[in-house]
Structure 1
Amino acid sequence: MRITDIRTYIVGNPWKNWLFVQVDTDEGITGLGEGTLNGFAKTVEAAIHELKHLVIGMDPFDVETISLKMIRDVYSDGGQVQGSALAAIETACWDIMGKALGVPMYKLLGGKAHDKLRCYANGWYRGGADEESFFNQAKEVVDKGYTALKFDPFGAAWRTVDRSDFAGAIRNIAAVRDAVGPDVDILIEGHNRFSVHTALQFADAMAPYEPTWFEAPVPPYRISSMVEVARRSPVPIACGEDYYNREQFAELLKHDAVHIIQLEPQFLGLSASKQICGMVHAHNGVTAPHSAQGPVCSIVCAHLNMATPNFFLHEIFDDFNHSWAQDIFSPPFKVENGYLQPPERPGLGVELQLEEAAKYPYHPGHWLPLFKQNWEKREPVE
């Protein structure tokens, strides 16, 4: 079997343009992948078309070599853009492998390590950023059957906050805990917002509400800062979604300070992601992959998580996207009572409906401006 072509499609989801890839083969099997990167849909699309000549004619089963050709052989560090292009193509190759062999993707990654995957809800807090809104929206989430939910209570904060905004963020956390009760996991999203000192002040203040984790409290690339926060915080720290190579995870893990690792298959590809899950396992840690880029990314993570013994929680945006988002895939991907299982059909288990997808074109205002007021409403940027 040989790769004959790679095609790209951008779907204009209002809060983030989704980029999908289809890889064709000479045996008529087509694989689906995703290369979504907030604010860079057309950039990643261009990278895919610039790199595809490296893999045309290759066997899609040779994913390790395909990855080397698109990363090592180019001899450039294109960061998350290059990683997204790689992951889109490589995911489609795994989809092709599953279809050719007649098995779901998780079977290729190690088989079933869990009966089902516990999910945490994200993207649910779109109706206001005050404590009353958080309270009411959180109750709706647990009424849907979720036993864990994540939220960013910090508004448009960056590095430091004034005293009133600090108090408001803690009130939001308290309101969610009050709404969901003591038995539901609440996960606090930091979005790389804070200085070390501000992050630690927040960690101390939120600790009475028993968050399961404080995610990405400081910018990711100074690993020493993340390690300092992790060692001093009374709340467990989670991070990893920004990293795009194994070496960054190796550097983080060697400090033995962060034990909830949120690798992003969208930046790594499945081959590296599986290896990183093993690295985390060796450090006695757990994985909670980031799957907020788009719907195919969520399905990829479901397959990876099912085959990962040290999996912890699965992130779900899909229940809180626009209703039409389920229409562009067949069959739809559903969470039931806060749990899901990856599709059992061969490969990824879903197909992109091109006619439906074409109804939602690219728009430059479709991106998530995390440091602007009202970003959480996930509306197009004017």
Structure 2
Amino acid sequence: MKITDVKTYILGNPWKNWLFVHVETDEGIIGLGEGTLNGFAKTVEAAIHELKHLVIGMDPFDVETIGLRLFRDVYSNGGQIQGSALAAIETACWDIMGKAVNQPLYKLLGGRCHDKLRCYANGWYRGPRTPENFYERAKIVTAKGYTALKFDPFGAAWRTVDREDFALSLEIIAAVREAVGEKVDILIEGHNRFSVHTALQFADAMLKYEPTWFEAPVPPHNISSMVEVAKRSPVPIACGEDYYCREQFAELLKHDAVHIIQLEPQFLGISASKQINSMVHAHNGVIAPHSAQGPVCSVVCSHLNMATPNFLLHEIFDEFNEPWEENVLLPALKVKDGFLQPPEGPGLGVELNLEELHKHPYQVGNWLPLFKQGWEKRESNH
């Protein structure tokens, strides 16, 4: 079997343009992948078409070599853009493999490690940044059966905050804890916002609300800063979604400070993601992959998580997005009572609904401006 072409499709989801690929083969099997990157849909699409000549003619089963060609052999460091292009193509190759051998992807990655995947809700707090809104919407989430939920209470904060904003953030955390009760996990999202000292001030102040983790409290580029926060914070630190190669995880893990790793398969590809999961396993850590790109990414994470013994939680954004999203993939991925099963069909087990895709064209303003006041309303900016 040989790869004959790579085709791209962009869907204009209002808060983030989604990029999908089809990898075609000479045997008629077509693989599905995703290359979504906030603010860079057209850029990643261009990268895919600029790089696809490196894999046309290759056997899609040779994913390790395909990964090397798309990352090492290019020699330039294209960061998350290059990683997204690689992951889109490589994921589609795994989909092809599963279809060729008539097995779901998780069976190829090590088989079933769990009866079902416990999910946490994200994106559910769309609306005004008030304790009342967070309280009411958290109630709705737990009524759906979720036993864990994540949220960013910090508005458009960057590095430092004033006393009034600090107090509001804590009031929001308190409101969510009151809404969900003692038995539900609350996960605090930092979105790389703070300086080390501000992050530690928040970690100390939020401890009484018993968060399960404080995610990405400082920018990821200086791993030493993340390590310092992790070693001094009374709340467990989670991070990893920004990294796009194994070496970055190796540098983070060698400090034995962060033990909740949120790798992003969308930047790594499935082969590297599986290997990083094993690295985390060897460091006595757990994985909770980032799964807030698009719907194919969520399906990929479901397969990866099912085949990973040290899996902790599966992120669900899709249920709290536009109602038409459930028509983008056939069949749609469904959460039941806060838990999920990966699709059982061959490969990813889903197909892209091109008819629905064409209803939602690309828009320049479809991105998530996390440092703009009111970003949590998730309104299109075009």
**Same fold at TM > 0.5:** yes
Query: Once the 2 structures are TM-superposed, how far is the Cα of residue 127 of structure 1 from its aligned partner?
Result: 2.2
The residue that corresponds to 2:55 in the other structure is: 55
Amino acid at match of 1:195: S
> Take 1:74 and 1:37, find their aligned partners in 2: how far apart are those partners?
20
Q: Deviations over 1:255-299 (max 9, x none)?
A: 000000000000000000000000000000000000101110000
Amino acid at match of 1:20: F
Q: C-alpha displacement at 1:37, in angstroms?
A: 0.1
- Taking the aligned partners of 1:88 and 1:288, their CA distance within structure 2 comes to 20
1:189-236 Cα distance to aligned partner (Å, 9 max, x none): 000000000000000000000000000000001000000000000000
Where does residue 102 of structure 1 map in the other structure? 102
Q: Distance in 2 between matches of 1:197 and 1:165?
A: 16
- Supply the distance in 2 between the matched residues of 1:52 and 1:63 (Cα, whole angstroms): 14
User: Which residue is equivalent to 1:353?
Assistant: 353
Counterpart position of 2:372:
372
CA positional deviation for 1:378? 1.1
Counterpart position of 1:315 = 315
Following TM superposition, by how much is the alpha carbon of 1:22 offset from its aligned partner in structure 2, in angstroms? 0.3
List 4+ stretches of structure 1 deviating above 4 A: none
2:71 aligned residue:
71
Match of 2:81 in 1: 81
Cα separation, 2, equivalents of 1:348 and 1:286: 23
Q: Which residue of 1 aligns with 2:273?
A: 273
Contact 1:127 1:137 in 2 (8 A): no
Provide the C-alpha distance between the structure 1 equivalents of 2:127 and 2:83, rounded to a whole number of angstroms: 33
Deviation at 1:318, TM superposition (A): 1.1
CA distance in 1, matches of 2:292, 2:7: 23
Give the TM-score, by structure 2 length.
1.00
Which amino acid is 1:374 matched to?
A: G
Distance 1:151 1:292 in 2: 13
Match of 1:146 in 2: 146
1:111 partnered with 2:111: yes
The aligned amino acid for 1:92 is A
Following superposition of structure 1 onto structure 2, how do residues 1-382 of structure 1 map, counting pairs within 5 Å? 1-382=1-382
- Unaligned regions of 5+ residues in structure 2, if any? none
| TM-score, L = length of structure 1 | 1.00
Q: CA offsets, 1:63-119, max 9 Å, x none?
A: 000000001111110000000000000000000000000000000000000000000
Aligned partners of 1:134 and 1:176 also within 8 Å: yes
- SS of residue in 2 equivalent to 1:92: helix
* One-letter code aligned to 1:265: P
Q: How many positions carry a matched residue from both structures?
A: 382
The amino acid of 2:126's aligned partner reads: R
Alpha-carbon distance between aligned partners in 1 of 2:379 and 2:54, rounded to the nearest angstrom? 37
Percent identity reads: 80
RMSD between superposed Cα atoms in Å? 0.5
The amino acid that maps onto 1:178 is: E
Q: 1 CA distance for matches of 2:127 and 2:355?
A: 31
The structural deviation recorded for 1:374 is 1.0
Q: CA deviation at 1:248?
A: 0.2
